[in-house]
Amino acid sequence: MAHTPLVLLIRDGWGLNPNPDHAAFDAVRLAKTPVADRLMREWPWTLIKTSGEDVGLPEGTMGNSEVGHQNIGAGRIVDQESVAITKACRAGLEKNEVIAAAIRRSVAGGKSVHLMGINSDAGVHGMLEHLYACLRACKALGQSRVYIHLFTDGRDTGPFTGLEFARRVEAAAREIGVGRVASVIGRYYAMDRDNRWERVHKAFACLTGRDSQRLEVRLASDTVSAFQRYYDSPTNDSQKGDEFILPTIVGSPDEACASRITEGDCVIFYNYRGDRPREITGAFVFPDERWSKVKPSPDTGRNGFDRGSKLTLDYVIMTEYWEELLPYCTVAFPKPPKMRNILGECLSSRNLTQFRCAETEKYPHVTFFFNDYRGEPFPGERRENPQSPKVATYDLKPEMAASEVRDAVLRRLASPDGEDLIVVNFANGDMVGHTGVLTAAIKACEVVDGCVGAIVEATLKRSGSLIVTADHGNAEQMFDPATNSPHTAHTIYDVPLIVVGEIARGRQLRGDTDPGGWFLPEARARRGRLADIAPTALAIMGLPKPPEMTGESLFAE
């Protein structure tokens, strides 16, 4: 096999900021990264696009890890579900059979409809436009008992933008004529994805009213108070802003009681991204036997939490969040058929082996999303999942589990039965970047750089090759001059891609390496995109590109 093993190394959240006046808060630039500097001097590199229409999202929309890894693994631009859902929303969700039927059943049974999801316009996990479409569908179908449960963002948006978004939601509800904000819950609690059930329990208690006093769920008379109380008195200095807002019930005591999720109600979860709705949804819909078998919390070792008797709900999820949930929910927008001849399948069909490795925060991305929402590995695909550290926020430990990920890859490179392809993700740049703490993000980049150096050395000793790149940017902008506050979201900037190994020596890659090219439409048009990575990998491995892959190799000739 030509130029293998091939290591596809994804430095999550490591972009190139083209703005010279951002130098003071560009963690990638400020970090001491001798390995990255050397690789970009000695090997061919280019800039590739990771956002908007280049990854199947609306123009100008930032990329994210789910979309990025799906595009990388597919070798083609993957039209994202959010685009199709937005089109359906504009046509009227009362025309969607699943949503309309659920709302009609709630009306006929005298039950409430609960709309819950992200309170954000970032477009990473969901969109407020989709919430408004759900409200309009309720109005059109005669449902007046509608309660909105907002999961506040602060990661993919500015940390203190949630109140303005909530005001927009309340204005839309007034205009449409139905719906009331009934809960405000930080995504730290409602959208956990690391099996930290003690967080999810607090969100569940807020939504249902169960255990709410024991778990100290807050009560606010109105939405503004719910936000302002936390803004004025955060849990601690590392948990400021919307992401961490303590679960809060909004309304008078009578309104609070009437707006909790109870037996027979309809729930519509309007997020479309699948990783973060899984846990809270499982808490609502899993039968007792399945609920008892959820993965244990890394903090307490407990499987789930005591949720009381399982509620019987008419539970609608926007997309297929997870195969395990599908027997117990209805899906408003089922996924299209699985793509054929994605990178993992191409290798497996040729009896080639592959290794996927990332710590907990990014493990679904190098497996489930990279494989186009397939949960099971392909034949010949091996996986390893080091545990992310037990900290409240990753600025407290910017190293995360990078050394464990590095060591897992080094073991496979040293093994006599090592794989042909290794896909590895280092989460630090993204996860620490989301905290908005510049010093921690600098440290995160430096840690990743050291790990990359060890993997490069081991790969070249085996006469292998590497593609070093990112799925999207983040750490290259840690402050927002427009709002004079930390920048905690992804960016839409392009990311470096470096090819290392003898196959790349003396060769050129398509596109350019000029940061200023970001501002020149003709320069950006010539740049590659994430969809070009799989064809490049196949070229390095001496394998033909299947016709389904519409991406092109990044080698210039």
Whole-number Cα distances in Å, 404 to 196, 364, 369, 424, 439: 20, 17, 22, 12, 22
How far is 105 from 103, CA to CA, in rounded Å?
5
**Structure tokens given for 518:** 């970001």
**Coil, helix or strand for 482?**
coil
Question: DSSP letter at 204?
Answer: H
Residue type, 296: P
How far is 53 from 123, CA to CA, in rounded Å?
13
Given a contact cutoff of 8 angstroms between Cβ atoms, the answer to whether 288 and 275 are in contact is no
How far is 233 from 224, CA to CA, in rounded Å?
14
Residue type, 292: S
State the helix-helix crossing angle for 34-42 and 438-461, rounded to 10 degrees. Answer: 50
Cis peptide before 5 (omega within 30 of 0): yes
How far is 365 from 368, CA to CA, in rounded Å?
6
Residues constituting the chain? 557
How far is 557 from 553, CA to CA, in rounded Å?
9
**Burial group, residue 544, by CB count within 10 angstroms (0-12, 13-18, 19+):** exposed
How far is 347 from 333, CA to CA, in rounded Å?
30
**Structure tokens given for 68:** 């990025």
User: What H or E segment, with its residue span, contains residue 465?
Assistant: strand 465-469
**Structure tokens given for 356:** 């996927």
Give the position of tokens 């009437």. Answer: 258
Question: DSSP letter at 212?
Answer: T
Strand 495-500 versus strand 465-469 pairing type: antiparallel
How far is 480 from 470, CA to CA, in rounded Å?
22
> Does the annotation mark 348 as catalytic?
no
> SS3 sequence, 101-141?
HHHHHHHHHCCCEEEEEEECCCCCCCCHHHHHHHHHHHHHC
Using alpha carbons only, what angle is made at residue 429 by residues 428 and 430, rounded to the nearest 5 degrees?
A: 90
Strand extents, DSSP E, 199-333: 218-220, 248-250, 266-269, 314-317, 330-331
- Name the catalytic one among 51, 65, 106, 553: 65
The string of DSSP letters for 66-111 reads: HHHHHHHHHTS----HHHHHHHHHHH-GGGSHHHHHHHHHHHHHT-
Using alpha carbons only, what angle is made at residue 144 by residues 142 and 149, rounded to the nearest 5 degrees?
A: 125
Whole-number Cα distances in Å, 133 to 123, 171, 257, 268, 453: 15, 14, 26, 12, 49
Indicate which residues carry an active-site annotation. Answer: 65
